Structure 1
Amino acid sequence: MTAGSSLGRAGRGAAVATLASRAAGFVRILVLAAVLGLGSRLLDSYNLANALPNVVYDLVVGGAMASVIVPMLTRAALSEPDGGVIYAQRLLSMIGYGLGAVTLVATLLAPLLVELFTPGFTAEQRQLAVVFTRFFLPQILFYGMSAAAGAVLNIRGRFAAPMWAPVANSLVVTGVGSLYFVVGGATSMQALTTPQLLLLSLGTTAGVFAQLTVVMWALARSGFPFRPRLDPRGVGMRRIGRLGGWMLLSVAAAQVLFTVATRSASISGPGGISAYQNAYALFQMPFAVITLSVMTVMLPRLSRSAARLDHRRITDDLSLAIRLAVVALAPVAAAMVALGPQLAALLFAHGRSDASTVGLVGTVMAAFGLALVPFSGYTILLRGFYAMQDTRTPALITGGVSAVGVAGCLAAGAFLPRPDIVVGIAIAYGAAYTTGLVTAGLVLRHRLGRIDGHRLVSTHARVLLATAVAAGVAAAVARLLTPLTGPLVVVAAAGVLGAITYLVAARLLRLTELGRLVATATAGITRRAADPRVRSGRTARRTG
């Protein structure tokens, strides 16, 4: 078995796990929106409180996990006589003790945290958010231990459990939301009873605990001996702090943008925070499934080229990754722009959701569609810097991106009518990511000498033309069918005809990247079908 085939399977496995995780997470979002009522102050308080543990965790350790802690675990596994077991035990213990202390402090500061994000909340709504937050903040510890244990598993060659564990989280919370509906849970803060509050609060945190349980169970199955260590010496705290500094700046800049965006959304009225978060979750799904899969395959090649100082190959690989991503994501972005209201109605116009908030989600989704391609290109270019072991430049670029986004969000809150503030937030994100894409491209061109600009411009121009035609067809079909039938038929018909138009236009415009993308996706399926071990396994399952 070659390293390339192993890498290919790992990349496809990561894509499948990511798709399953995002799909399960999105079902959770839909269930909670339908049960708690999209547009209700109750859902806004719940969503805000549920986001705060992630904010604190990312600021404390999340940024250092992949960039610093995983490489140090790898080094210990290769250099220590015990394969890095004692080092991993000390690191897990240190993270557990540290995040436990952070959780206690954050719980005490819960009112201040909520106040920071919610200038537009009423006093009653803010108080409910504080109560939810105090129940949710233990998730900081659960997320941290899950990530650290997952890193140890990856070092030991076990990848499945950390990738699939978030599905357990989503399944538990989806079940909690369904149970809340069955027992007649309230949609207003005034009608919320203590048992209903406990069901939502404890059930949501139980989902994160389930995620941790899956990873810890897998770590125990791998033969790793659990043993708390009180002595943190030898972990390398100074090295972690020094190496993680620039990554911390990147994370902090992103969290500042999230904070300002959430504050702006809170003053847009009931449903503003939920509209922003749900539209942003939709925006992230195609990026996670398509762009992250492309980067999973390309990053090892980029790292090898960087190690050989082969700048031409780095440029070619970055160019290819961007061109494959834009060909795949542009029609998705066009669908979001052309069919945003219909998609929102299909997904959210159920249960106890408010019709006006559903319409707002559709408009915000359309605005986020404009940001999808720039965001993907910007993220891919940053991987070029990481491949060259440069974390400083991406941190500085991310700081500039956040500054542009923050300015846009503040302008939206100051100058737009309240219902339109959330739309302005999405436009601010698009402007920020476009700025990041252009800046990263210029810096890389200066460092590498070229960025394959001619092919990039040519591909983007042809993709723009193909998607514009396809979006026009989809929008025309949607306008024709919307008065006549429901959103499911509208989205299906407009989506199919738009996709066919895009494929035909891409062929006429000779978008060869589309064929390469399809070939890459089908190659793994073909190789798997041809593998005798797979065929024998299928035969055994059929005969068994």
Structure 2
Amino acid sequence: MLRASAVMAAGTMVSRVTGFIRTMALATAIGTAAMGDAYNAAYAIPYSILDLLLLGVLSSVVVPMIVRAQKEDPDGGRAYEQRLLTLATVALAVVALLAVLAAPVLIDLYTTGWTGRKFDVAVTLARFILPQLAFFGIGAVAGAVLNTRDRFAAPMWAPVLNNVVVIGVLIIYLAVFGDAGRDLARVTDGQLALLGLGTTAGIVAQAAVLLLALRRAGFTFTPRLDVRNARLGEMGRAGIWTIGYVVVTQLGFMLTTNLSSQAGDAVSGHGITPYTYAFQLFQLPYGVIGVSVITAALPRMSRAVSEGRFGDVRAEFGSSVRLIGSIMVPVSLLLMVLGPAITVPIYAHGATSVQDAVYIGNVLQVYGLGLVPFAVFQLLLRVFYSFGDTRTPVYVGAATTVLNALFMWILYQMLPYAYTVMGLAFAYAVAYSLGAVVAWWLASRRVQGLGGWQIGMSMTRMYLAALPTAVLALVVVWLVQIAFGGLTFLTSVIILMVGGGVGMLLYLAVAHRMRIPEVNSIVGMVAGRLGR
């Protein structure tokens, strides 16, 4: 699992790094105020629709069904995979068309109080960005088929091309239009077309790479419209609960965007955009480590469940949690300490001021509290999915989302607008921490124990090994602030190099001395590759 996860983690790391460059270019070109909020509101809608229609069903329903078809069907599941890809292509093309027509309604749903030019710009951008729905969905199904063949590299590396395309578009946008491209009053429909269609072009390139990888894996796509053999009834019965879960989470996300849009209207630079940028950074460790490990673990857990090997399910889950925790534990502490030092070098350029970048970092610091609980929560859901149980995750996810919404509303009422987005991040961290506790209890009952005592002891040792790293980072922040004053690009880089870079080396050294197996495995694998 470590080898498979390492391949995916490498691709995801490059993807996330290029994603940071993309976000830097976006922040430089359009900033974090009104224009940035309009773009990010439009950009969030297709992902929300995809979550609702497809992405949640992929991991919970489609992957286990493809695995079963490969095992049971005489042709190894080839025809079944072709039917799924055909169905996804046709259905999502129709959805994309309907979404473009309904763009004004969708912007209204995800924001509050937007009128006039800001609303018009958001609608125009949405109409240019929403066609990516079809291409993103096709790529997602192709990626799922590749994963069941243990081909993990292409789905993790394809987003790199997406980011490169969009970075190129943003560089052109910034070079040609300059200040006019970030001013709502001056931006033209032609400029918005370049920005929106350029974003869609990245997804088209990503889907093309995945389809090419599928072909190289021996899969020849032949359109099949015999949907009666696509097991849609079975998929629907299993997927209805997942769709219910996604509906609930998207309602929670809509509340988040509405509350943050109101805060952004009250205090410029404190709205949807800082929430979005901080969340992207928060997702980096989970995307690099968590998603890689979970993607490798789900097919194995599904096969173990189908063969009645519950002990292997427990072993797979335990090793996955420990492997995730060995990296995410120190990273979560560093996020809580170094948040502004991370965001200033990334975002404080062009239209985004240092103060705006520091606020994004403050939101990121709060998010750091929920990094490990969120990753464990997502892994626990895969335990249920490996059993073909999509109902329990709905109940757990719905309860978590309701808690999140309740905490968000309470904090929104209590905090000034300048702290609203930080409050939304805190509500998210607390809700997923409580959700992980409930999900653990239910999953433990399902597999007759998850080895909680052993996992708890391992995680405790990881936190103890990470404490010197957190202390070092705090001292570095304090000393640099005294020596140089406020945060700048240079001082932030110094803090990251010493507090982050040296801090992580210190963690690896302490964890190695404490003989934490997962850290030793990672160090050994890296050392072995460097020695070749």
TM-score of the alignment, normalized to the shorter chain, above 0.5: yes
Match of 2:256 in 1: 261
Structure 1 partner of 2:441 = 442
Q: Which residue pairs with 2:525 in the alignment?
A: 523
Tell me how far 1:520 sits from its aligned partner.
4.2
| Shift in Å, 1:264 | 1.4
8 Å Cα contact 2:139/2:207 also seen in 1: yes
Indicate how the Cα distance of structure 1 residues 222 and 295 shifts in structure 2: closer, same or farther if over 3 A, else same: closer
Partner of 2:13: 19
> Does 2:364 align with 1:396?
no
Q: Number of residue pairs matched?
A: 520
For 2:234, the equivalent position in structure 1 comes to: 239
**1:460-486 Cα shifts (integer Å, max 9, x gaps):** 444444434432321121121134262
Paired residues of 1:267 and 1:413 also in contact (CA < 8 A): no
In structure 2, the residue matched to 1:188 is: 183
Cα distance change on mapping 1:463 and 1:86 into 2, 3 Å = closer
Paired amino acid for 2:10: V
My pick for the range that moved more, 215-224 or 242-251, is: 215-224
Distance 1:399 1:286 in 2: 25
Deviates more, 1:132-141 or 1:314-323: 314-323
Q: Is the contact made by 2:67 and 2:299 (CA closer than 8 Å) also made in structure 1?
A: no
Counterparts of 1:297 and 1:70, CA distance in 2: 12
**Residue 51 (structure 2) pairs with residue 52 (structure 1):** no
- Separation in 2 of the partners of 1:224 and 1:385? 29
- Using the TM superposition, name which of 481-490 and 340-349 deviates more: 481-490
Whole-angstrom CA distance in 2 between matches of 1:158 and 1:467: 34
Q: 1 CA distance for matches of 2:405 and 2:505?
A: 39
1:249 to 238, 244, 247: 244
| 1:242 Cα deviation after fit | 1.1
Contact 1:40/1:187 (<8 A) preserved: no
Cα distance in structure 2, aligned partners of 1:305 and 1:79:
16
Q: Go from structure 1 to structure 2 and tell me whether the alpha carbon gap of 1:291 and 1:308 turns closer, same or farther (over 3 Å shift).
A: same
Q: Pick from 477, 481, 497: which aligns with 1:492?
A: 497
Q: Alpha carbons of 1:184 and 1:460: their partners in 2 closer, same or farther (altered >3 Å)?
A: same
CA distance in 2: counterparts of 1:349 and 1:161, whole angstroms: 32
Q: Does structure 2 retain, via aligned residues, the 8 Å contact 1:139–1:209?
A: yes
The CA distance in 2 between the partners of 1:16 and 1:500, in whole Å, is 19
C-alpha separation in 2, matches of 1:328 and 1:156: 27
Question: Which residue identity is paired with 1:394?
Answer: P
Instruction: Trace 1:117-196 onto structure 2 (pairs within 5 A).
Output: 117-154=110-147, 159-185=152-178, 186-196=181-191
| AA at the equivalent of 2:90 | Y
The Cα offsets for residues 166-188 of structure 1, whole Å up to 9 and x where unpaired, read as: 11111110100011111133211
Question: How much does 1:367 deviate?
Answer: 0.2
| Match of residue 354 from structure 1 | 353
8 Å contact kept, 1:363–1:423? yes
SS in 2 for 1:244: helix
Structure 1: give runs of 5+ residues left out of the alignment.
1-6, 531-544
How far does the alpha carbon of each residue in 1:241-282 deviate from its partner, in whole angstroms, 9 at most, with x for none?
112112212222322222211111111113311101111110
Q: What is the letter of the counterpart of residue 493 of structure 1?
A: V
Conserved? CA contact 1:44–1:273, under 8 Å: yes
Task: Report if the CA contact (8 A) 1:268-1:418 is conserved.
Answer: yes
Q: Structure 1: which amino acid aligns with 2:4?
A: A
Query: Partners of 2:238 and 2:36 in 1: how far apart?
Result: 39
Aligned partners of 2:404, 2:393: CA distance in 1, in Å? 16
Contact 2:404–2:431 (Cα < 8 Å) also in 1: yes
- The structural deviation recorded for 1:425 is 0.8
Shift of 1:155: 5.5
Question: Which residue number in structure 2 is paired with residue 417 of structure 1?
Answer: 416
Distance 1:282 1:80, change over 3 A: same
Q: Kindly tell me: are residues 321 and 123 of structure 1, through their superposed partners in 2, closer, same or farther at Cα, counting changes over 3 Å?
A: same
Aligned to 1:3: none
1:70-125 CA deviation, whole Å, 9 max, x = no partner?
A: 44445555555655554444333322221122122222221111111110534321
User: Normalising to structure 1: TM-score of the pair?
Assistant: 0.87
Amino acid at match of 1:257: G
Report the 3-state secondary structure (helix = DSSP H, G, I; strand = E; otherwise coil) of the residue aligned with 2:203: helix
Displacement of 1:421 after TM fit?
A: 0.6
> In the alignment, what sits opposite 2:286?
287
Aligned to 1:328: 327
The Cα offsets for residues 282-310 of structure 1, whole Å up to 9 and x where unpaired, read as: 01111121223333454455445545645
| Larger Rg computed on CA atoms | 1
Deviates more, 1:250-259 or 1:302-311: 302-311
Q: Residue 301 and residue 282 in structure 1: after superposition, are their counterparts in 2 closer, same or farther (change >3 A)?
A: same
State the alpha-carbon separation in 2 of the partners of residues 302 and 222 from structure 1: 23
Partner deviation per Cα, 1:42-70 (whole Å, 9 max, x = no partner): 11111110111111122112222233334
* Cα distance, 1:140 vs structure 2: 0.9
Amino acid at match of 1:30: M
Q: Which moved more, 1:457-466 or 1:106-115?
A: 457-466
Find the aligned partners of 1:445 and 1:519 in 2 and give their Cα distance.
27
- The residue that corresponds to 2:487 in the other structure is none
SS at match of 1:183: helix
> What secondary structure, in the 3-state scheme, does the structure 1 residue paired with 2:230 have?
coil
Distance 1:520 1:439, change over 3 A: same
Aligned pair in 2 of structure 1 residues 497, 88: CA closer, same or farther (>3 Å)?
Answer: closer
Identity %: 37
Q: How far apart in 2 are the matches of 1:309 and 1:160?
A: 29
- Tell me if 1:112 matches 2:101: no
Quote the offset at 1:519 in angstroms. Answer: 1.7
The 3-state SS of whatever aligns with 1:444 is: helix
Which has the higher mean CA deviation after the structures are superposed, 84-93 or 261-270?
84-93
Distance change >3 Å, CA 243–CA 449, structure 1 → 2: closer
Name the TM-score, length of structure 2 as normaliser: 0.89
SS of 1:233's partner is helix
Q: Distance in 2 between matches of 1:432 and 1:383?
A: 19
The answer to whether the 8 A contact 2:60-2:382 is kept is: no
AA at the equivalent of 2:281:
L
> Residues 102 and 480 from structure 1, CA distance in 2 versus in 1: closer, same or farther, beyond 3 angstroms?
same
1:8–1:524 Cα contact (<8 Å) kept = no
1:410-467 deviations in Å (ceiling 9; x for gaps): 2232221111010001101111111111112222343444443433443444444443
Partner residue, 1:533: none
- Give distance in 2, aligned partners of 1:191 and 1:247: 43
Structure 1 contact 40–188 (Cα < 8 Å) conserved: no
